[in-house]
């Protein structure tokens, strides 16, 4: 190893120490840390920490609050992590989706939440393996089973921000208000999956179950959508199968289930 590579490696380790401090529980609670505190946590001089953080901020790896002057992890780092997690999610989910699709003899979709919509990342059919009709297409979250699953971690205040009431205009949907949406989300929490009968599209039924990451957060949903005359009489059976498949994907992402506390908030 050359002197230059050793120097760069040493610098990288120091930068990682800074990022570790900004990812700490203390930093997350406070919304950021100042240079003095970061220097204390890393055992480095304040001037060195200040220069290193400025360089990282110039690259978007960290960002500095203009009012408090405290640092937090930046957009570029989150972008890199998001792309990595999404790729791992697809790779972990695809073989499980293939088995689920063959078991229920319907197309399986992998979905994520984007603002007020559900976006399909991947569709798999037991017959043709990959189906592209839904991939990249966004649909309203409030009137779909996948959307209600993806909102499991949302608090009432989150729903008020995400869904202004006039946005809920689908006449087929059983959800026309935020309290109704909250109630449907709690049904999903109770059952382990969400079910929808012709709320998004005439003749279409669906079930979805949550995929959780190592932190226990819902990061995606597995969905089965099909004509009601094919699946309607076995919707709950399909929902339970989808939940079992979603648990397998969650396990591959590092999720380990524990006791779940009941929701304490109510939405009126």
pTM for the full predicted model: 0.66
Contact 249, 259 (CB under 8 A): no
pLDDT of residue 261: 43
pLDDT at 31: 85
> What is the reported pLDDT for 126?
65
pLDDT of the residue at 60: 86
Residue that the structure tokens 């790896």 belong to? 61
Closest residue by Cα to residue 118 from 92, 150, 93, 159: 150
pLDDT of the residue at 230: 87
Asked if 3-75 and 88-252 have one fold, the answer is: no
What are the residues facing 52 on neighbouring strands?
Answer: none
Nearest Cα to Cα of residue 154 among 126, 130, 133, 178 = 178
CATH number of 3-75: 1.10.10.10
**pLDDT attached to residue 94:** 92
Q: Positive or negative CA dihedral for 214, 218, 224, 229? A: positive
Kindly report the length of the chain.
Answer: 268
Q: Which fold has domain 88-252?
A: Beta-Lactamase (3.30.450)
How many other CB atoms are there within 10 angstroms of residue 158's CB atom? 11
- Whether the Cβ atoms of residue 121 and residue 111 lie closer than 8 Å to each other: yes
Where are the domains positioned within the chain? 3-75, 88-252
> Tens-digit pLDDT profile for the chain (268 aa)?
444 433 434 567 888 889 989 888 888 788 889 999 999 999 999 999 999 999 999 988 899 988 899 999 887 776 666 566 677 888 899 999 999 999 999 999 999 988 888 988 888 886 544 444 555 667 888 889 999 999 999 988 888 888 876 677 777 787 888 888 999 999 999 999 999 998 888 888 999 999 998 888 999 999 999 888 888 789 999 999 999 999 999 999 888 886 554 444 556 5
How open is the CA angle 195-228-120, to the nearest 5 degrees?
Answer: 55
User: Three-state SS for 61?
Assistant: coil
Q: Are strands 138-140 and 108-114 parallel, antiparallel or unpaired?
A: unpaired
As a whole number of angstroms, the distance between CA 58 and CA 125 comes to 45
pLDDT of residue 28: 77
User: Which pLDDT value is given to residue 5?
Assistant: 38
């Amino acid at each position: 190893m050359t002197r230059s590579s050793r120097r760069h490696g040493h610098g990288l380790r120091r930068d990682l120490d800074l990022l570790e401090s900004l990812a700490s529980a203390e930093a997350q609670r406070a919304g950021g840390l100042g240079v003095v505190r970061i220097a204390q946590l890393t055992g480095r001089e304040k001037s060195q920490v200040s220069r290193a953080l400025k360089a990282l901020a110039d690259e978007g790896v960290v960002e500095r609050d203009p009012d408090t002057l405290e640092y937090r992890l930046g957009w570029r780092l989150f972008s890199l992590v998001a792309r990595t997690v999404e790729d791992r999610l697809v790779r972990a989910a695809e073989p499980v989706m293939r088995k689920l699709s063959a078991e229920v003899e319907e197309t399986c979709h992998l979905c994520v939440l984007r603002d007020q919509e559900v976006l399909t990342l991947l569709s798999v059919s037991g017959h043709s393996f990959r189906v592209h009709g839904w991939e990249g297409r966004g649909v309203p979250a409030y009137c779909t089973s996948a959307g209600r699953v993806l909102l499991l971690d949302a608090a009432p205040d989150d729903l008020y921000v995400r869904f202004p009431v006039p946005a809920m205009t689908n006449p087929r949907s059983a959800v026309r208000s935020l309290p109704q949406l909250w109630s449907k989300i709690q049904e999903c929490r109770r059952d382990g999956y969400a079910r929808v009968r012709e709320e998004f599209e005439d003749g279409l039924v669906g079930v979805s179950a949550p995929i959780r990451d190592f932190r226990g957060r819902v990061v995606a949903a597995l969905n089965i959508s099909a004509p009601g005359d094919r699946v309607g009489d076995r919707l709950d059976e399909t929902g339970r199968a989808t939940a079992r498949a979603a648990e397998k994907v969650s396990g591959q992402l590092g999720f380990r289930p524990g006791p779940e506390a009941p929701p304490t908030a109510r939405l009126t």
